[in-house]
Amino acid sequence: MDEARVQQEAGLAMCADACSGEGHRVLPIQVAVASASPSRWRDALVTTDARGGFAVAPLEGAPVRLWHHLPIELAEGEPVAYHPVAGVLSARGVLLSVRPVA
């Protein structure tokens, strides 16, 4: 995990200090939890849904729909890593805060 790149620049500029919570900025505690529990990372593939959202299909376990406050342009079938305990998604070298949705 590249801790120096924990959020997209666009997300930081758009959100400024007003956004917080799951699906917005990656908090230092999320980085710490993800780093301290490497066994909880789940390799996954990106899937899209009819509602315009995206999901990750872990290689082991059920798919999980995720939300992020900015549109995330990930290709169907793109490999990512999801850390459900920390609430982060690692994609293309960037760590994003995400929120599971029903």
pLDDT of residue 48: 81
Whether 3 is covered by a domain: the verdict is no
- For residue 28, give the H/E element and its range: helix 28-36
Whether 4 is covered by a domain: the verdict is no
Mean pLDDT calculated for residue range 88-100: 92
Which pLDDT band, with edges at 50, 70 and 90, does 100 fall under?
very high
Is the pLDDT at 41 greater than 60? The verdict is: yes
Whether 1 is covered by a domain: the verdict is no
Name the β-bridge partners of 83.
88
If one counts the domains in the chain, the total is: 1
Instruction: Domain of residue 53: give its range.
Output: 9-101
Whether 17 is covered by a domain: the verdict is yes
Q: What is the pLDDT of residues 49-77, one digit of tens each?
A: 767 678 999 999 999 999 888 877 889 99
Strand order in the sheet with 88-91: 94-97, 88-91, 79-83, 42-48, 54-58, 64-67, 99-101
Which pLDDT band, with edges at 50, 70 and 90, does 15 fall under?
low
